[in-house]
Amino acid sequence: MNMSSANVSTVFFYRDSFSKAVAKNVLVVVLVVAINYINVGLIQTFRKHQIFYTSPRYILFLHLVVNDMIQVTLSVTMFVISYTVYQMQVSVCCVFILLTLFTTENTPLNLACMAVECYIAVCIPLRYVQICTVRRTRMLIGLIWMTSVLSVLPDLFIALAMQPMDFFNTKIFCIRNNAFPLTLIIKRRDVTYILYLVVVWFIIFFTYFKILFTAKMASKVTKKARNTVVLHGFQLALCMLTYTNPLLQEMLVRHFPRYVTDTLFACYIIVQLLPRSIS
């Protein structure tokens, strides 16, 4: 029995009681409603002021907010379904997982782009207007989505090529390792996540230290930019837990099989919801 099938058996055996399941679902739904309510307020503010339409910084921030709204809505839908339907058809599960992964991987890339924008504004202010235009910002957002899609879609193509078609008609507990259980997919995912970690963290550290060096000028704008990048770094650190989450979950499930549902719930709150509440 492989690790993913062992996880499913463990989840089935140690299902939550009715009262605990209700409490978890109510907590998650309340958190997501609160996050989305605040995000809708931010979007309305954006629509009312023309300055936001012409500022690359705010365009990237709005994209982050909208992306996070889609991500938390999809993830909480999957969370509730896992407690109500519990199992779903593999083909339907794949659609949910792919859409969630697109938006999940968008977040760290968007944060890295926002850090670069702060760096250009502080360290290359005379060229800011030429470099950071609305058109280039929109192209950058398109590139973010393209990168996430190209990162995730190979999982589906590999599964279609190597799994029998009957597999997509079976029902599973809808998590990524169960929908895409092939070893090749898991190894490819790990390599991709390591690459993401290295590239995005390099960008964050590079921009932070460049701004920190410039901050010796004691400019108020520079200090604000430095603090903004620090906040991006903290949010990014939480988002990057997504890339270590599969290994962490396997380790915790292996050592604490009786608390598997609580482990998955804690990982969901910390990895999926908490980073989106900072925006």
- Per the CB < 8 A criterion, the answer to whether 109 and 200 are in contact is yes
Determine the average pLDDT of the residues in 139-159: 91
What is the model's pTM? 0.80
Task: Identify the pLDDT of residue 223.
Answer: 63
Q: For residue 106, is pLDDT > 50?
A: yes
Give the model's confidence band at 140: pLDDT under 50 very low, under 70 low, under 90 confident, else very high.
very high
Determine the average pLDDT of the residues in 8-33: 71
**Which residues, listed in sequence order, are joined to residue 171 by a DSSP beta bridge?**
89
Give the model's confidence band at 108: pLDDT under 50 very low, under 70 low, under 90 confident, else very high.
confident
Instruction: Tell me which of 12-21, 97-106, 191-200 is least confident.
Output: 12-21
Q: How many CB atoms lie within 10 A of CB 49?
A: 10
Task: Identify the pLDDT of residue 63.
Answer: 92
- Listing DSSP states for the chain in one string gives --HHHHHHHHHHHTPPPHHHHHHHHHHHHHHHHHHHHHHHHHHHHHHH-GGGGG-HHHHHHHHHHHHHHHHHHHHHHHHHHHHHT--EEHHHHHHHHHHHHHHHHHHHHHHHHHHHHHHHHHHSGGGHHHHS-HHHHHHHHHHHHHHHHHHHHHHHHHHHHHS-GGGGGSEE--SHHHHS--HHHHHHHHHHHHHHHHHHHHHHHHHHHHHHHHGGG--HHHHHHHHHHHHHHHHHHHHTHHHHHHHHHHHHHHH-GGGHHHHHHHHHIIIIITGGG--
Give the model's confidence band at 8: pLDDT under 50 very low, under 70 low, under 90 confident, else very high.
very low
Q: What is the mean pLDDT of the chain?
A: 79
| Overall size of the chain counted in residues | 279
Percentage above 90 pLDDT, the chain: 8
Q: How many CB atoms lie within 10 A of CB 17?
A: 9
Reduce the DSSP state of residue 171 to 3 states and report it: strand
Q: Where are the alpha helices (DSSP H) in 163-182?
A: 176-179
